Structure 1
């Protein structure tokens, strides 16, 4: 489906787009808003992780686009929204837990820079949200996937804050294997890849509301985001 088709398709319900860098808290915010307004929570990053996991299983080079694109041609990724988060199915198998591991996350960041692979993924994501009534979070929802989304929030925070949050949220066993400094270094490297890639670089949409959570508590972020949604969708109150 082209961007023009996506923009002209009549949706039954609105789309809430949440973009931002790694570790900004997009998943937590998306889950909250989906519950608050009765929408589906579709985590598009999980789709990249699922394909990256299959690439790991297939022993593919993450920097070579052609084999990855060929792999996508016989790959089926499904998201089944649950109250506690998405259930991710890869070719019919539940990979929800495995795709959260560090090796898959790192691989997903590398494969996501490929233009043709992103185009394939964007088409899948548009199909998931074509009728609306969804909260979609990722890196380019408001700029590439749904540039006509009714609500666009760009959630950001200083890298040091995001890195610290990500480290503190990791399991104790994981903290024993990697330092907070290493987590921050990987996050900054991912920021650089996301912001400088040729296809759909990470940036706020022109009409997005930028929410900097550096000095905000989680409760403040959730409350402010609800206000933003209600300002754009008064009928959803």
Structure 2
């Protein structure tokens, strides 16, 4: 990738961020979007919303065709304000419900459903085409927004990622809490890696390893990269 910044306005800018579970991509992406005055799209919330919708209707997630059909019909309203999470399905506020362990344990079955992915990627691409947005998740730098002027793989070593997720879910990163989240993080990444690439950077994608960085330092690193690649400043 050239070191010469692209001539991009904030209104048109797309920042694509990929990363494994616990890499901090959601929090970092929200902070970056808020700093730049951009919208924020959490693509993971979309897969969680489909999962919630299917379970609420008693649909077997192994019924891939039916789940894909539900994804195509999904009456999803998702806010794009980085300062607040707003997710509604059929008029029901599910922002908290989709973050429960019930959904976390089941979402891989939906995220690896190719029919679901096709539908949700199309919705994600529609948002990206509008510009002025930070999009994070899996396959963002390679499938959803491969032409984005700023593409980042945010990563961290496994122990750090497990610790972060344990703190988020259990409020502690002691050995018991880490062990309790190990399956959710490691299995989810293993499952998702069968249909998405988010461990290795594709050509032209910048890597930021946050293993020894604080949240503020990681956000700052992404903002500096945005300026270097697009010319857009916080």
TM-score range, shorter chain: 0.7 to 0.9
Residue of structure 1 in register with 2:144 after alignment: 145
User: Stretches of 4+ moved more than 3 A in 1?
Assistant: none
Structure 2, gaps ≥5 residues long: 1-9
Query: Structure 1 residues 114, 229: closer, same or farther in 2, change over 3 A?
Result: same
Residue of structure 1 in register with 2:222 after alignment: 225
Residues 189-218 of structure 1 show CA distances to partners (whole Å, capped at 9, x for unaligned) of 1111122x1x33334232111111112222
Q: C-alpha distance in 2, partners of 1:96/1:234?
A: 34
Contact 1:42/1:86 (<8 A) preserved: no
Q: C-alpha distance in 2, partners of 1:201/1:179?
A: 27
Aligned-residue offset at 1:88: 0.7
Q: CA RMSD in A?
A: 2.1
Say which of 203, 206, 220 aligns to 1:209. Answer: 206
Residue of structure 2 in register with 1:7 after alignment: none
Q: C-alpha distance in 2, partners of 1:231/1:82?
A: 25
Q: C-alpha distance in 2, partners of 1:120/1:108?
A: 16
Contact 1:52/1:111 (<8 A) preserved: yes
Q: C-alpha distance in 2, partners of 1:37/1:225?
A: 11
State TM-score, norm by structure 2: 0.88
State TM-score, norm by structure 1: 0.87
Q: C-alpha distance in 2, partners of 1:54/1:226?
A: 35
Query: Structure 1 residues 57, 12: closer, same or farther in 2, change over 3 A?
Result: same
Question: Which deviates more from structure 2 when the two are superposed, residues 217-226 or residues 46-55?
Answer: 217-226
Residues 92-127 of structure 1 show CA distances to partners (whole Å, capped at 9, x for unaligned) of 221111111111122222211111210111001111
Contact 2:39/2:82 (<8 A) preserved: no
Length, aligned pairs only: 223
SS, match of residue 216 in structure 1: coil
Residues 142-161 of structure 1 show CA distances to partners (whole Å, capped at 9, x for unaligned) of 11111111101111111211
Residue of structure 1 in register with 2:80 after alignment: 81
